[in-house]
Structure 1
Amino acid sequence: MSHDNMSKDTLPESHDSHGTEVAAHGDPFADPGLPAHEPRRTDIDERAAKRAERQVSLLFILSMLSTVGFIASFVIFPIDKIVYIFPIGHVSALNFSLGLTLGVALFCIGAGAVHWARTLMSDHELPAERHAIEADDEVRADVIEQFKTGAAESGFGRRKMIRNTLIGSMALVPLSGVVLLRDLGPLPEDKLEHTGWKEATKAKPIQLINMNTNEPMKPEDIVVGSLSFAKPEGLEEDSHEFQVQIAKDALMLIRIAPEDIKDKESRDKGFEGILAYSKICTHVGCPISLYEQQTHHALCPCHQSTFDLADGARVIFGPAGHPLPQLKITVDEKGYLVATGDFDEPVGPSYWERSR
């Protein structure tokens, strides 16, 4: 009779329905256990262990040197320097050196840790049966004991060379991230404090140039209730720095009857009711271009910050943090409107380093 026709009841206890042999205790597969532990060369030869320790330490030292090289690259290589690297081709010297040094620094830490684990740390396998997620007191005590045993067998406390070089490499690598912040751009220094009007003095004033006609402006060009825009003399639209400079230099000119100007200091900085304010909103730097003639209010179209230009451009509504900076103006010997100094406050949004 074939096995296919044989009844399950007629099979021996040592076979399943397909005739497969079953272990004596009833499990389909017996636990083969772990193979006998074979000691490594570093376990039985102290000279080999010392050699492995030096190799691990060397990798950590290379990591430290690479981190120093990463930082040095920012100083050595200009951002526009191009070099030829075979077989890659022409690449940025700065980018190539940063990638190479940071990659070596991280690789050496990983390689050192792996080499340490494979040659010097204990490699005895400790099987454990699956258990409930929540551990009882006995299991927790066993885990703590195993941790202490592992720490002792790792030689972290005994092998000071490895310990110290690992700490050194791990301490230096984060400096790479700190240095990367320097790559966000050049330091502003005091550039945010000044604009293109900073060169203006009483002895050498700067003319106000109409943004639409590109011609110098006279007081009679500006009528009461009008709004005009100006830029400093010498700032040309085809210049490389125009967009950068106009974002700080742009002027908003309005003319108010002198008796309607509420703030005396603001009136004194103007000329015959002509007031020159920064066009850049003090909230997030949007250009202001909306002016209400009857109330003398200027409105930022981005977030509706509203400034009273008849009262020192103070904020009367919206999220802006401070008034619009004002530029002191007068006329030169030819009757053209000129500036005799920079804005009284840094233009644009507030920032924590503001000195004024």
Structure 2
Amino acid sequence: MSRKVRIASICMAPDYEEEPEAILREVEKAAAAGADLILTPEIWSGQIAEPEDDGFRAPVLERAAAIAVKYHTYVVVCMERYLSETEEEQIRKADEQGIWQKAQRLKHNSSFLLDRQGRQVYIYDKIYPYPPEFKDAKGDVCSMAELMEASVLEEPNVPGTKVGVYDCDFGRVGFAICFDMNFPELWRQMAAQDVELVAWSSAFSGGRNAAFRAGTNHYYVVSCTSVGRGDCRVADINGDQLLVQYPREGEVANVAKVTLDLDRTIFHKNFNEAVIERIEREYPGRVQVDRSLYAEEEWIILSTEDEDITVGELCEVYGLLPLRRFKTTGMAAYVDELRGMIPWN
């Protein structure tokens, strides 16, 4: 049985000027149309969430939560947040280099995941903030040497510490924000944790990067962008671009919608091919086997519309190893263990 999720990406057109209501209207329209997951771009509201006992508060979070409850959907709100007293104390104590000591107040650039009941069930903090988010240095003017010497901002965005992964009711979602796109190990770590879909909120477009990350790690990537070109890109588990959509002239928002099958899975032919042939014999016409990438990549893609089986269940019953695991916790880990060490360590 396919496991399809309906996603809406509410991107900001270049003319947008931090007027949250315009984006929230599109979020509600997408929710009313049946989206399971709605993405918003990086820090689009101009608001900063304040900590409180049971989470964080901001007007835009309250509005998004109400929409999530009303239409029974997930919403990702990407915005800055002030650290709680406990978080700030921990970071300042661990700051051996004294980088953050002169800062007045510390922030994170975060993706808040609101569930179908409007609860703040997960917060991902951007692991690689863009240096001008924490230092008085412009990326298009300063050199790396000048960046190192630049002063820290009064309210800097400090780097997050945990890979963003959360199990929604439709599948496992990973999170990344803007500058995170440039660092492949973060994306590999999401693959190692069996992420099926990455929600990437960003200021810049990212261009082909989304397809590179998807094709390398074999999960879907959906972008939601803002001040660049306001485009949305959806990349397939095989690295193909399923959607590239730009805003229409004169529109404030660029709303892209896509339905993805999270049960669809890529396998390497090695140590899987004979098993897949057996499945074809035992489930004639019930499992779709795509060998279009067999000759060169040596990949086989399985999917099914049969209500009584899933590709995930076939993996468990027949011992199939998805390519995402093959590259991380499967074949790679097996050979690394035999070697006793990784050469580049």
Higher RCO structure, 1 or 2 (CA under 8 Å, sep 6+): 2
TM-score, normalization by structure 2: 0.21
Greater C-alpha Rg: 1
Larger strand share, 1 or 2 = 2
Q: TM-score, normalised by structure 1?
A: 0.21
